[in-house]
């Protein structure tokens, strides 16, 4: 059982049979074909030698197949994490240097260990700190940054800049040295790939392919682009004409690499590593959940942390860089009919074979082709509808979304994530400290109580019913005291205050202190404090304190009963609370 | 009106009359007598020349009288803030150096500006981040640290250490060089002051004083101790025998000082200054609220920020260090009958006169006497009952409390506050991400629905009623999807799911996305999703989206109505939602 939790392979492995095998094989072939150009491209985006992308697509898949809980998630290098790797490694070493590669490998190791630890500590919930608006804002901004960073390869110019304005400026200032031949490769390939996304499938079906087959074939579009541009380079000798090519890729399986144990380096990298871990986990788990739901399967987020941790550690020890579950490839894997994580393992074999035998063929592959595949891939991440929707629905969420986009574009990916989380949290705490509460009255002829400002309801001057629409925690404890005492101060005839607690899901120590203070002050003024509709768990806890004995009022099961009782209060002191306890009312 | 908000003096000033004047005068005299030894002592605790304590007790009181909203709060140097000042200034300069004094003055300036800004931005709610358990834990630990730090003066030995174990160790290792004469001053004074707290009042009443008079006289206990020990030093020539004395105190009014504008210094000090501001504000506002409530007065927390900000800026420009509203002196001020902040201004005059004419008399005041007053004052802050109460009521609050105490004792006051806030927030977010929800059924013969696990209630197999006991925010959006879909997966006969939203006070964008996802997936399974008892503000927002149109189910005003409707569902599709809109049900 315990073993099964940490090694999901023991679960699905038992029922593994021939038909599942063929389906997994099928999917693996398609994903492999798709993954080869992607891996090279994302390594380029991370500022690493293309082959590192291949290394990062072998052992990590095997590790995930053993520890992962999603049947169809395909791990490997992904765009956003590659960008974050580039910015983190770029901060400690120069691109192309041995230190840069070491930093990337170390990032994978640190983030792998962090993910595993978070998993063992069951801290997956920390990913919740990234709200949907923050994530989508971050993805959009990253997409823009990535696409911009790749433009230089398509234009054949040099350009830099680590924030968006700087990138655009640097592109503009170097626009003069455009290499026409690179452009003649880059632009058509980009257009072709854009067309492939939408137009290829219908076209193939027009040629008589079945829908699913057409779909799968279309996924091979990038491979076609790769092949054609390689041929173009060879036929027209484009390298001599200034078209940058991938060049020699070391042949063979991933080397056994050791991540750095240099503390000063780890000190510099742990923050970005943590952000890479969280972003990677969130992206991966969202994909996994979406796909699992389609087949009524479930994933275990905390175990996912362990799975991704293992993948990154495996990546580090085989000379790779940070990986996570990718959206595009996972969908392909799913559509191609993968049934178990074994498909991932088979893909790993495919990539291994590729890095053994295919790499020489990629010598003449233009960088522009890879850049084009990246641009087309990430632009689909840019989402321009969300801001409008958020603005209409929730200004707070809109603010978090826009802040994340703006800061990511201006201050880079790391600051973007941090700011997004910060803004989201600040707005959340701000709302939590000013909760909603309503003065309620009875809806005529019913047992329901509604806001006096929204419904025509029945009230009496000597009873004040306040519905607290929030748990009473330290964040709003002060607010509660002020709110109740101010309402009371406005009502001289008041004899009883009923706090309707149907929406109070918790009362922490600070909330309790405030309730005691309110009870005490109302008592001084000869006003009774009563609670109605208190939830079971909350009542249980209150019973562990002296509050109920000290309460100068009662606990009522229902607001209706409380109101009925107190309405006709003649001024005698209310019976002690244990009287009600005896009647099992609480 | 606007002016009145920022200058409360304009409010109470209008009604100022003779009788109020006498009461304020009366209180001012008593507070002045109490404040003189305290100011000297706390300056000592802050590692500053005693006179700085007097400077910090003049202009700040005037500033607060103008800007403060509490009628009876007495601002000035306080124990905890003095300790924090010592640790912050000690980090950038050596005690006794000019840089150390400059750091302390600059701390007051920075924290004053910060408080004022927070006030203008109405960010008082940030103080809510400090929960009661964290504050009490911090106060207790500070009390222990302060008392320990003063022991060396009572024993007449040298000792250091910036965390508790280090302090104790250093005391133990130097215990050999105890100065017997200092001990003979320190120990009796300490015992005397402890006795004064409890025993003096009854004794004085036995001598025929009225209760209130006895109370006030007892407050002069420290002054008696000061006078007696000064005489003892002079009579027995204790200085020659190695008893440390205050020595020459520069006579005259506070100098006009300029806080440092050295950016590198400000960079080093802004974090501690922020913590000093928040701690000071929280302590001050709690005292002010308690006293205000006793006289049915109110204070305005955001304006309090401005008042305290002004006080600290005033302190900085008159050579003082960070100040805030103190508990002990405010209570004395209140009991002595102060009616308006003017009492504070009169106290300021009193202290000013003291620093003009009294300081020579204090030449022979033993440091041990001041240390004793500090020890007696802070030990009353140490609260040993709270941990037990918290343990019984809430393990989470207990954890935050104990963590704060432990880290404050081991890593100092700044880390203590940060850790306390961090732990509290982490536990809050953890709970917020795992909210309480219950499957509910109808209580027979009523319209009430209760948890099936706590009450014997009526349910039907094809309708599942889930009461969500939390607002749907990004913190629990993922949880919601998992919880609902898992409950549904367990029930094959299910036709309808009702989410009872009586406790849902808000649905943010992430929560809405999760609801849409749930609606979509249930739709795939031919299961209807219905919402009941949705609050007005929540409904209003949902109407601004497409969710209600896409909802494959209805919105019901009451859970009872929803259950009644769906119970007898024969399998026909539910009517579209706008049908209900038309009937004004939502």
> B141-198: per-residue pLDDT in tens?
988 998 998 899 999 898 887 789 999 999 999 988 899 999 999 999 999 999 988 8
Chain B: residue whose CA lies nearest to A514: B132
Chain B: residue whose CA lies nearest to A435: B505
Cα-Cα end-to-end distance for chain A: 40
Average pLDDT, chain B: 87
Torsion over CA: A427, A432, A434, A438 (sign)? positive
Q: Which residues of B10-45 are buried (b: 16+ CB within 10 A; e: fewer)?
A: eebeeeeeeebeebbbbbbebbbbbbbbbbbbbbbb
Q: Is A137 on the interface with B (CB under 8 A)?
A: no
Confidence class for position A21, pLDDT limits 50, 70, 90: confident
Residues listed for chain A: 586
Q: Which of A426, A450, A472 is the last residue of a domain?
A: A426
Query: Inter-chain contact A475–B128, Cβ cutoff 8 Å?
Result: yes
B121 pLDDT higher than 50: yes
B1, part of any domain: no
A59 pLDDT higher than 90: yes
Confidence class for position B210, pLDDT limits 50, 70, 90: confident
Residue carrying the six token digits 């690493």: A48
Chain B: residue whose CA lies nearest to A475: B128
Count other C-beta atoms under 10 Å from residue B2's C-beta: 6
Confidence class for position B582, pLDDT limits 50, 70, 90: very low
A586 pLDDT higher than 60: no
A178, part of any domain: yes
A183 pLDDT higher than 50: yes
How far is CA A80 from each of CA A95, A272, A527, rounded to the nearest angstrom? 18, 13, 60
Tokens coding A489: 């101060």
B5, part of any domain: no
- Cα separation of A9 and B462, whole Å? 36
**Same-domain check for residues B468 and B421:** no
SS (H, E, C) A104-171: HHHHHHHHHHHHHHHHHCCCHHHHHHCCHHHHHHHHHHHHHHHHHHHHHHHHCCCCCCCCHHHHHHHH
ipTM of the complex model = 0.76
> B363-397: per-residue pLDDT in tens?
899 999 989 988 988 888 788 888 998 999 988 89
Q: Which residues of B touch A450 (CB under 8 A)?
A: 536
> A344-361: per-residue pLDDT in tens?
999 999 999 988 888 888
Nearest-Cα distance to chain B for A516, in Å, is 13
Question: What integer pLDDT is reported at residue B580 of this predicted model?
Answer: 43
Closest C-alpha among A146, A154, A153, A173 to residue A80: A146
**Same-domain check for residues B394 and B304:** yes
**Same-domain check for residues A409 and A497:** no
A296 pLDDT higher than 80: no
- Cα separation of A471 and A511, whole Å? 9
A467 forms beta bridges with A438, A500
Count other C-beta atoms under 10 Å from residue A548's C-beta: 19
Using only C-alpha atoms, chain B has a radius of gyration, in whole angstroms, of 31
**Same-domain check for residues B401 and B496:** no
Q: Which residues of A touch B535 (CB under 8 A)?
A: 436, 469
Residue carrying the six token digits 């500053």: B48
**Same-domain check for residues A377 and A465:** no
Smallest Cβ–Cβ distance between B436 and the set A434, A509, A537 belongs to A537
Q: Which of A426, A446, A469 is the last residue of a domain?
A: A426
**Same-domain check for residues A323 and A349:** yes
**Same-domain check for residues A317 and A444:** no
> A101-155: per-residue pLDDT in tens?
999 999 999 999 999 999 998 887 777 888 888 888 988 998 899 899 889 999 9
> A493-549: per-residue pLDDT in tens?
889 999 999 888 889 998 998 899 899 888 888 899 999 999 888 999 999 899 999
Residue A545, φ and ψ in degrees, nearest 5: -120, 180
A571 pLDDT higher than 70: no
Contact in structure between A553 and A529 (CB atoms under 8 Å): yes
User: Could you tell me what percent of chain A has a pLDDT over 90?
Assistant: 39
Residue carrying the six token digits 């974090």: B271
Residue carrying the six token digits 């400002």: A453
Contact in structure between B83 and B145 (CB atoms under 8 Å): yes
**Same-domain check for residues B399 and B493:** no
For residue B460, give the DSSP letter.
B
Confidence class for position B2, pLDDT limits 50, 70, 90: low
Q: Which residues of B touch A504 (CB under 8 A)?
A: 503
Query: Inter-chain contact A394–B541, Cβ cutoff 8 Å?
Result: yes
Question: What is the signed CA dihedral for B288, B289, B295, B300, rounded to 10 degrees?
Answer: 90
B577 pLDDT higher than 80: no
Q: Which residues have C-beta within 8 Å of that of residue A201, sequence separation ≥ 6?
A: A211, A214, A215, A218
B26 pLDDT higher than 70: yes
Average pLDDT over residues B425-450: 87
Average pLDDT over residues B563-574: 73
Query: Inter-chain contact A509–B558, Cβ cutoff 8 Å?
Result: no
Q: Is A505 on the interface with B (CB under 8 A)?
A: yes
Question: What integer pLDDT is reported at residue A181 of this predicted model?
Answer: 92
Q: Which of A206-220, B49-63, B188-202, B438-452 has the lowest mean pLDDT?
A: A206-220
Question: What integer pLDDT is reported at residue B89 of this predicted model?
Answer: 93
**Same-domain check for residues A75 and A184:** yes
B438 pLDDT higher than 80: yes
Residues listed for chain B: 586
Tokens coding A569: 């209060």
Count other C-beta atoms under 10 Å from residue A2's C-beta: 6
Q: Is B478 on the interface with A (CB under 8 A)?
A: yes
- Cα separation of B451 and A484, whole Å? 29
Question: What integer pLDDT is reported at residue B1 of this predicted model?
Answer: 56
Q: Is A396 on the interface with B (CB under 8 A)?
A: yes
Smallest Cβ–Cβ distance between A454 and the set B473, B485, B536 belongs to B536
Smallest Cβ–Cβ distance between A541 and the set B393, B508, B541 belongs to B393
Question: What integer pLDDT is reported at residue A485 of this predicted model?
Answer: 85
Question: What integer pLDDT is reported at residue A144 of this predicted model?
Answer: 92
Tokens coding A199: 């137009």
Smallest Cβ–Cβ distance between B470 and the set A451, A505, A517 belongs to A505
B296 pLDDT higher than 70: no
Confidence class for position B573, pLDDT limits 50, 70, 90: low
Question: What integer pLDDT is reported at residue A391 of this predicted model?
Answer: 92
B13, part of any domain: no
Confidence class for position A5, pLDDT limits 50, 70, 90: confident
**Same-domain check for residues B401 and B528:** no
Report A:297-356 residues touching B (Cβ under 8 A): 298, 301
B427 pLDDT higher than 60: yes
**Same-domain check for residues A280 and A354:** yes
Query: Inter-chain contact B133–A510, Cβ cutoff 8 Å?
Result: yes
Q: Which residues of A touch B436 (CB under 8 A)?
A: 505-506, 535, 537
Query: Inter-chain contact A510–B397, Cβ cutoff 8 Å?
Result: yes
A578 pLDDT higher than 70: no
B431, part of any domain: no
B445 pLDDT higher than 80: yes
Residue A470 structural domain: 437-582
For chain A, how long is the longest CA-to-CA vector?
Answer: 103
Q: Which of B426, B455, B478 is the last residue of a domain?
A: B426
- In B420-571, which ranges are E strands? 437-442, 449-451, 463-468, 496-500, 528-532, 555-556
CATH number, domain containing residue A450: 3.30.750.24
A8, part of any domain: no
Q: Coil, helix or strand for B97?
A: coil
Confidence class for position B576, pLDDT limits 50, 70, 90: very low
Query: Inter-chain contact B505–A429, Cβ cutoff 8 Å?
Result: no
A11, part of any domain: no
> B327-349: per-residue pLDDT in tens?
878 888 888 888 888 999 999 99
User: Could you tell me what percent of chain B has a pLDDT over 90?
Assistant: 39
Average pLDDT over residues B61-84: 91
- Chain A interface, mutation test: which of B393, B509, B518, B584, most A Cβ atoms within 10 Å? B509
> A314-348: per-residue pLDDT in tens?
999 999 999 999 887 888 888 888 888 889 999 99
Report A:355-394 residues touching B (Cβ under 8 A): 389-390, 392-394
Q: Which of B21-25, B74-78, B168-172 has the lowest mean pLDDT?
A: B21-25
A359, part of any domain: yes
B407 pLDDT higher than 50: yes
Query: Inter-chain contact B485–A293, Cβ cutoff 8 Å?
Result: yes
**Same-domain check for residues B382 and B453:** no
Q: Name the domain count of chain A.
A: 2
């Amino acid at each position: 059982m315990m073993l099964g939790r940490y090694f999901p392979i023991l679960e699905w492995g038992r029922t593994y049979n021939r038909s599942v095998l063929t389906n997994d094989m099928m999917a693996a072939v398609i994903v492999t074909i798709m993954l080869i150009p992607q891996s090279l491209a994302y390594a380029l985006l991370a500022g690493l030698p293309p082959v590192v992308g291949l290394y990062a697509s072998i052992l990590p898949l095997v590790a995930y197949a053993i520890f992962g809980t999603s049947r169809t998630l395909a791990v490997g290098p992904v765009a956003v994490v590659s960008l974050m790797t580039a910015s983190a490694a770029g901060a400690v070493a120069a691109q192309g240097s041995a230190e840069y590669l070491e930093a990337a490998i170390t990032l994978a190791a640190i983030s792998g260990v962090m993910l595993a630890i978070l998993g063992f500590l069951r801290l997956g919930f920390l990913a919740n700190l990234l709200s949907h608006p923050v994530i989508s804002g971050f993805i959009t901004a990253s997409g823009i940054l990535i696409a911009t960073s790749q433009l230089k390869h398509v234009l054949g110019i040099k350009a830099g800049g680590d924030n968006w304005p700087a990138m655009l400026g640097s592109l503009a200032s170097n626009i003069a040295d455009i290499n026409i031949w690179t452009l003649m490769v880059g632009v058509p390939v980009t257009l072709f790939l854009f067309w492939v996304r939408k137009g290829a499938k219908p076209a193939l079906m027009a040629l008589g392919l079945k829908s699913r087959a057409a779909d799968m074939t279309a996924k091979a579009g990038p491979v076609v682009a790769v092949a054609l541009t390689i041929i173009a380079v060879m036929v027209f000798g484009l390298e001599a004409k200034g078209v940058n090519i991938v060049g020699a890729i070391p042949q063979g399986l991933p080397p056994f690499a050791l991540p750095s144990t240099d503390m000063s380096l780890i000190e510099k990298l742990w923050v970005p590593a943590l952000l890479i871990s969280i972003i990677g986990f969130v992206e991966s788990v969202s994909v996994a959940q979406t796909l699992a739901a389609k087949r009524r399967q479930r994933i275990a987020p905390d175990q996912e942390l362990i799975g991704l941790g293992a993948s990154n550690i495996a990546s580090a020890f085989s000379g790779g860089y940070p990986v996570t579950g990718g959206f595009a490839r996972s969908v392909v894997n799913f559509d191609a009919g993968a049934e178990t994580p074994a498909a991932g393992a088979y893909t790993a074999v495919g990539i291994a074979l590729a890095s053994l035998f295919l790499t020489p063929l990629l010598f003449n592959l233009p960088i522009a082709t890879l850049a084009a595949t990246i641009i087309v891939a990430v632009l689909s991440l840019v989402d321009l509808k969300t801001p409008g929707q958020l603005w209409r629905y929730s200004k707070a969420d809109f603010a978090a979304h826009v802040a994340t986009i703006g800061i990511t574009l201006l201050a880079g990916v790391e600051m973007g994530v941090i700011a997004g989380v910060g803004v989201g949290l600040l707005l959340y705490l701000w709302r939590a400290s000013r909760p909603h509460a309503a003065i309620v009255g009875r809806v005529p002829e019913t047992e329901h109580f509604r806001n006096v400002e929204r419904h025509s309801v029945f009230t009496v001057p000597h009873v004040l019913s306040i519905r607290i629409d929030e748990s009473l925690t330290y964040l709003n404890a002060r607010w509660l005291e002020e709110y109740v005492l101010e309402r009371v101060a406005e009502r001289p005839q008041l004899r009883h205050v009923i706090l309707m607690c149907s929406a109070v899901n918790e009362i922490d120590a600070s909330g309790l202190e405030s309730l005691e203070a309110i009870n005490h002050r109302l008592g001084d003024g000869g006003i009774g404090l009563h609670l109605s509709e208190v939830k079971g768990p909350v009542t249980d806890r209150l019973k562990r304190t002296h509050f109920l004995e000290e309460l100068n009022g009662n606990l009522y099961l229902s607001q209706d009963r409380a109101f009925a009782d107190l309405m006709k209060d003649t001024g005698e002191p209310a019976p002690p609370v244990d009287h009600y306890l005896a009647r099992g009312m609480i």
